[in-house]
Amino acid sequence: LLLSTLKFVTLFAMSSSQRNSDSSKNITPPSIADTQKHQSLIKTMFDDLPQKVSDLAPILNEAKLEVQAETVPMKIQSYVNSHGFKPTKEEKELQEIVDTMPYGIMAGSPEEANLLCLLLEMMNAKMVVEVGVFRGLSTLTFALCLAGMNKKYGEATRKVIGLDVSEEYAQVGIQKWKEAAVDHLIDFRVGDANDSLVKLLEEYGENTIDLCFIDADKVSYDNYYEQCLKLVKPGGLIVVDNTIWAGRVVIPDSVLEALAPKADAADETVARAGLKALDTLAIKRLNEKMYSDDRIERVSFLTIADGVTICRKKPEQCKEN
C-alpha cells in the first residue's frame, strides 16, 4: 500500500503551472490506458504495413512523428473543436484570454458547452443554473444559446443563474458578457454555492429549473447534486463536470484513503496530494450514486473533456408508476 501511495503522489501533486504549460486548449492529459490504446492504434496504422511499400517509408516516418501516442488525444481534441463548435467573436476572444491566465485548464471545454446548448435548444429551456462560474466561459455560451431562443420564439424570459464563491476570477468573463449583449440574461450570485442553492430553492421553489450544471469544488459535489435534484423540473437535466478527473477515478480507494489524511500536512506537495485524494473520493462516490439513483431515469457518462455525466430527473408519471 505504501508503494502504491508513493506511486500516485506525483500524479496528485502536479502543479497548475505544469498542467498549464501545454499550449492545447482545455485538454486532459492522456491516461496510461489512453496511451496504451493509442500505441496499439499506431502499430496497426504503421508498423504492420508490408515491407514492399518501403518507398513510403519517409512519409510513414513523418506520420509517426506527427501521431505520437502521447499527442493523439490532443490532436483529436483540437480537430473535434475545430469541426464541431462555431464560437462567436466574444467566445473566441474569451477563450484565448482564459488560455493565457492562471488555471486556464479549469475553464469549461468548448465541446461540452456546445453539447449542453444543443440539449437546451431541444428542451426549449427557460432556466439554467450553473454551479461554478470561474472565468465565465460556459456562462457566456449558455447565455448566447438562451438569447438565440428568445429571439427565435419572440420571448424574453430565459435566464442563466451563475453561482460562484468569488467574483475575482469572473471579471474577464463579465466584460465579455457585456460585449456580447447577454449580461442582462445572467444573474451572477457571489457566495458559498451551498447557501446560494438553498436560497434559490426558497426563491423559485422545487421543480423549476430546466438544467443545472455542476462544476465547482469537488468535496461539495454530493450536496450540490442533492440540491439541484430538488430544483430541476421532472424531465430536466443535472450535468456534472470532471467526473473522470484526469483519470484519477480509477485509482483504488485504498490509495486515496491513505492519501486523504495528508491534506493538512505541512509539506505543500504532500498536502496537495491529500486534497486531490479527497476530491477524487468525492467524485467517485457521486459517480456511484448517480449510477444507482432511482430518482433519475437515465445516466449518460461521457468521456469528452474531463468527463461529464448527464442525468435526467424522472418525470412525474414515472415516479407514480
Q: What is the pLDDT of residue 60?
A: 47
Asked if residue 213 lies in contact with residue 136, where contact means CB atoms within 8 angstroms, the answer is: no
pLDDT in tens, 277-309: 999 999 999 999 999 999 999 899 998 889 999
pLDDT top residue among 55 and 116: 116
Task: Report the DSSP pairing between strands 127-131 and 308-313.
Answer: unpaired
% of the chain residues with pLDDT over 90: 59
Kindly indicate the confidence band of residue 109, based on its pLDDT and cuts at 50, 70 and 90.
confident
For residue 65, is pLDDT > 60?
Answer: no
Task: Collect all residues with Cβ–Cβ distance below 8 Å to 22 and sequence separation of at least 6.
Answer: 29, 74, 105
Kindly indicate the confidence band of residue 81, based on its pLDDT and cuts at 50, 70 and 90.
confident
pLDDT in tens, 180-222: 999 999 999 999 999 999 999 999 999 999 999 999 999 999 9
Torsion of CA 97, 100, 104, 108, to 10 degrees: 30
Report d(CA 190, CA 152) in Å as an integer. Answer: 31
Report d(CA 299, CA 209) in Å as an integer. Answer: 18
Report d(CA 299, CA 314) in Å as an integer. Answer: 11
Which residues pair with residue 164 across a beta bridge? 190
Out of 65-69, 257-261, 282-286, least confident range? 65-69
Longest dimension (CA), the chain: 74
Asked if residue 275 lies in contact with residue 25, where contact means CB atoms within 8 angstroms, the answer is: no
In order of 57, 89, 220, 287, the CA distances from 47 in angstroms are 11, 43, 48, 39
pLDDT in tens, 233-252: 999 999 999 999 989 999 99
Count CB-CB contacts under 10 A for residue 20: 16
For residue 10, is pLDDT > 50?
Answer: no
Check residue 106 and report its DSSP letter.
G
Asked if residue 116 lies in contact with residue 108, where contact means CB atoms within 8 angstroms, the answer is: no
pLDDT top residue among 64 and 266: 266
Q: What's this model's pTM, rounded to 2 decimal places?
A: 0.78
Give the ranges where 239-300 is alpha helix by DSSP (H).
253-259, 268-292
